[in-house]
Amino acid sequence: MHVQPFGSVAAALHDSWSDLDVRLLVASGAVGAFFPEYAWLERFGRIYCVQHSVAPGHCGLRVVFEDLRRVDIMIVERGTQLDQARWRAASELVLADRARDRPGDEFWIGAVDAVVTVVRDDLLVAAKLALDLSGRCLELALQLRDDQARPIGNEWVEHVFAENASLAEPSAILDHILTSATLFEGLQRVANSGYLSRRRPLDDLIRQARTTTAEHGAYRPRALHR
């Protein structure tokens, strides 16, 4: 196996809000040691949420740890054409198994991305990502109502946006992300009365984002001193 950092870390342009981009070059037949299972990453910390992807030429793992470190791993198999169908099917099995105990990874990954994009001062993309969270909540509400006959009525729509909601400034987008997280967890409790909250790392990240945007306004990335 060969490890190749790339992106902002490799270019020495990273800062405290950067993720770590890593390319793993593995021997033919060795992809299964790293994908779709992700337990090997737990030695680096408790995992908050994980996202799998399969693309021509590589498999991908995006991981957010509970201490808010973020890693984007690209796994490339040497000398072999990647069997995309095989690895996509395998990743779906792993994700289905995780979702039984830790539902909502796609939501939490999206929420983290939205917060980071607010800090980066790309409010157009941040607003879009924040609204995507609302869409995920509404999709879950419809699934619970229509497929599982849960008592989801029109009153849930009242919780999609906070009172006097706006997406016109960083603090308002962060408020919307929090509102979506509250709604999402409420729906998860309807689905499963034993659901355990997963919000703490996101709450911590939003507090950091509020501090950063309040102190610096539009955030300008700055390389860390080594």
- Across 38-52, average pLDDT: 96
pLDDT tens digits, one per residue of 148-165: 999 999 999 989 987 777
Fold designation for 105-216:
Four Helix Bundle (Hemerythrin (Met), subunit A) (1.20.120)
Q: Using pLDDT thresholds of 50, 70 and 90, give the confidence band for residue 49.
A: very high
Q: Using pLDDT thresholds of 50, 70 and 90, give the confidence band for residue 223.
A: very low
Query: Which amino acid, residue 49?
Result: C
Ranges 43-47, 107-111, 133-137, 211-215: which has the least confidence: 211-215
Structure tokens at 102: 């830790």
**In this structure, what is the dihedral angle of CA atoms 203, 204, 208, 213, given to the nearest 10 degrees?**
-10
Q: Using pLDDT thresholds of 50, 70 and 90, give the confidence band for residue 7.
A: confident
Question: 62: which strand partners?
Answer: 51, 72
Q: Is the pLDDT of residue 217 over 80?
A: no
pLDDT tens digits, one per residue of 103-142: 999 999 999 999 999 999 999 999 999 999 999 999 999 9
Neighbours of 49 (CB within 10 A): 24
Q: Where in the chain is the domain with CATH 1.20.120?
A: 105-216
CATH class for the region spanning 2-101: alpha beta
Q: Where in the chain is the domain with CATH 3.30.460?
A: 2-101
pLDDT exceeding 70 applies to what percent of the chain?
93
Closest CA to 126 of 213, 10, 187, 19: 213
pLDDT tens digits, one per residue of 68-116: 999 999 999 998 888 999 999 999 999 999 999 899 999 999 999 999 9
Q: Is the pLDDT of residue 168 over 90?
A: no
Structure tokens at 42: 């737990």
Burial class of residue 184 (count of CB atoms within 10 Å of its CB; 0-12, 13-18, 19+): buried
* 123 Cα distance to chain centroid: 18
Q: Is the pLDDT of residue 221 over 70?
A: no
Q: Using pLDDT thresholds of 50, 70 and 90, give the confidence band for residue 11.
A: low
In contact, 202 and 158? CB cutoff 8 Å: no
How far is Cα 115 from Cα 173, in angstroms, rounded to an integer?
Answer: 8
